[in-house]
């Protein structure tokens, strides 16, 4: 009888078992590493979204009230011949009387009240759990106004300012009228004072990420991921208009604490934005907080409560999204000084 060669059945079964255990261990390790990678990627995206949102808001807050070299109490005279499309938010954007604060934060009891104050914002596109931030400034980039080879385009409002006051006008057409009427501003040597683009904006939280309704409005069935958006000044065809611009996805709640200055220009106290009788002309600093969630649910629940700078608390049950508790989130914040405020 010839001797047997190869593996016995028992040996083969043991080999298969050991091999299976090794494969299972490798697959478990791979799955764990993949989950850790997804978690880390989600956390990184969350932090990046928060940083971008804080940068956008903080940079504009710092510019609030900056109209050029004119002082805060100097008159800004309306010299524009072109209004906004459908007059939407015209009082907000083109109020040149200096009676409207350069920065203010407002809360509303209902969407109708918000739309009455800002008629360029669709009622279904505003999340009332977050207040609305309004900022008025120029962009800070000086442009020569009377360059024959590169005249001002008729695509924006501009401010030309010097100590004593300034003019708010639309494009080269209005600037030429200023020249004709000797209302342009010049330096001592006769050269024209540079102009800067007018840059008003209204910031708020929209309760959906991709509105599918008529006029780009949020409707039932839209992705309920909240998003920080703003109304910004741009051209709608041949006429200027305030247009809703998406900024950062996942921003659920925005909170503001207002630093108010005393008679010497020093911060006297920080007050919630909805404090009775707040004097916005004394605002010199903003403490800003954002509750930002990940854009994809990763299982489990996050019911953590967050204490905001204003003293209010917020958790996932305060969200307009019924499924908000399935998302991880974090609280981010910063303090921003209105560096151009002159008291």
Q: How does pLDDT run along the chain (343 residues), one tens digit per residue?
A: 556 566 677 777 887 888 888 888 888 777 776 666 667 787 888 999 999 999 999 999 999 988 888 876 788 889 999 999 888 998 888 886 666 788 999 999 999 999 999 999 999 999 999 999 999 999 999 999 988 788 899 999 999 999 888 999 999 999 999 999 989 999 988 889 999 999 999 999 999 999 999 999 999 999 999 999 999 999 988 899 999 999 999 999 999 999 999 888 889 899 999 988 899 988 999 999 999 999 888 777 889 999 999 889 999 999 999 999 999 999 999 999 986 554 4
Distance of CA 89 to the CA centre of its chain: 18
Q: Look at residues 292, 281, 309, 299 and name the one whose alpha carbon lies nearest to residue 103.
A: 281
DSSP state of 336: E
* Beta-bridge mates of residue 234: 241
pLDDT for 92: 85
Kindly state the DSSP code that residue 138 receives in the 8-state scheme: B
Helix (H, G, I), strand (E, B) or coil at 281: helix
CA nearest to 308, candidates 254, 268, 270: 254
Token digits for 182? Answer: 């000797």
% helix / strand / coil in the chain, to the nearest 5? 25, 30, 45
* 331 neighbors 57 (Cβ within 8 angstroms): no
Phi, psi (deg, nearest 5) at residue 117 = -80, -35
**Distance (Å, whole) CA 43 – CA 103:** 32
| Dist CA 78 CA 324 (whole Å) | 46
Question: What pLDDT does 330 receive?
Answer: 94
What does the DSSP assignment read for 19-65?
HHHHHHHHHHHHHHHHHHHHHHHHHHHHHHHHHHHHHHHHHHHHHTT
User: For position 343, what pLDDT does the model report?
Assistant: 40
Whole-angstrom CA distances from 106 to 164, 171, 175, 203, 236 are 30, 31, 34, 11, 27
Phi first, then psi: what are they for 269, rounded to 5°?
A: -165, 165
30 CB burial (10 A radius; 0-12, 13-18, 19+): exposed
Q: How confident is the model at residue 60, as a pLDDT?
A: 96
Q: Which is nearest to 119 in space by CA: 156, 96, 91, 99?
A: 91
What's the pLDDT score for residue 238? 86
Q: What distance in Å separates the CA atoms of residue 122 and residue 218, rounded to the nearest whole number? A: 9
210-216, Cβ contacts within 8 angstroms, sequence gap of 24 or more: 211/124, 211/125, 213/124, 215/122, 216/122, 216/125, 216/244
- Per the CB < 8 A criterion, the answer to whether 128 and 114 are in contact is yes
Q: Residue 305's pLDDT is what? A: 95
Contact 302, 328 (CB under 8 A): yes
Question: What pLDDT does 182 receive?
Answer: 87
Report the half-sphere exposure of 307 (CA within 13 A, side-chain side): 1
């Amino acid at each position: 009888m010839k001797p047997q060669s190869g593996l016995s059945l028992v040996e083969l079964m043991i080999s298969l078992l050991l091999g299976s255990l090794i494969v299972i261990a490798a697959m478990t390790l791979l799955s764990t590493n993949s989950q850790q990678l997804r978690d880390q990627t989600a956390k990184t995206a969350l932090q990046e979204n928060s940083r971008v949102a804080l940068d956008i808001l903080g940079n504009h807050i710092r510019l609030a009230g900056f109209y050029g070299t004119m002082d805060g109490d100097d008159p800004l005279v309306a010299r524009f011949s072109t209004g906004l499309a459908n007059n939407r938010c015209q009082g907000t954007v083109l109020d040149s009387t200096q009676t409207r604060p350069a920065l203010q934060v407002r809360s509303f009891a209902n969407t109708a009240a918000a739309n009455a104050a800002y008629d360029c914002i669709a009622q279904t596109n505003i999340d009332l759990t977050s207040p609305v931030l309004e900022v008025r400034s120029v962009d800070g980039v000086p442009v020569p106004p009377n360059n024959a080879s590169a005249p001002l385009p008729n695509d924006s409002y501009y401010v030309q300012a010097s100590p004593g006051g300034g003019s708010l006008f639309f494009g080269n057409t209005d600037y030429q009228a200023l020249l004709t009427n000797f209302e342009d501003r010049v330096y001592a040597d006769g050269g024209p004072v540079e102009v800067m683009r007018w840059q008003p904006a209204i910031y708020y939280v929209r309760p959906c990420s991709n509105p599918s309704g008529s006029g780009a409005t949020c409707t039932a069935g839209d992705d309920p991921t909240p998003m920080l958006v703003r109304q910004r000044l741009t051209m709608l065809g041949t006429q200027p208009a305030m247009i809703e611009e998406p900024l950062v996805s996942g921003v659920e709640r925005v909170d503001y604490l207002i630093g108010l200055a005393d008679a010497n220009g020093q911060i006297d106290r920080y007050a919630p934005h909805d404090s009775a009788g707040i004097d916005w002309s004394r605002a010199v600093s903003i403490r800003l907080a954002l509750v930002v969630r990940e854009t994809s649910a990763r299982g489990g629940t996050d019911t953590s409560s967050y204490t905001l700078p204003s003293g209010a608390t917020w958790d996932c049950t305060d969200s307009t999204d019924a499924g908000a508790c399935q998302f991880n989130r974090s609280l981010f914040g910063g303090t921003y000084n209105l560096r151009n405020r002159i008291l």
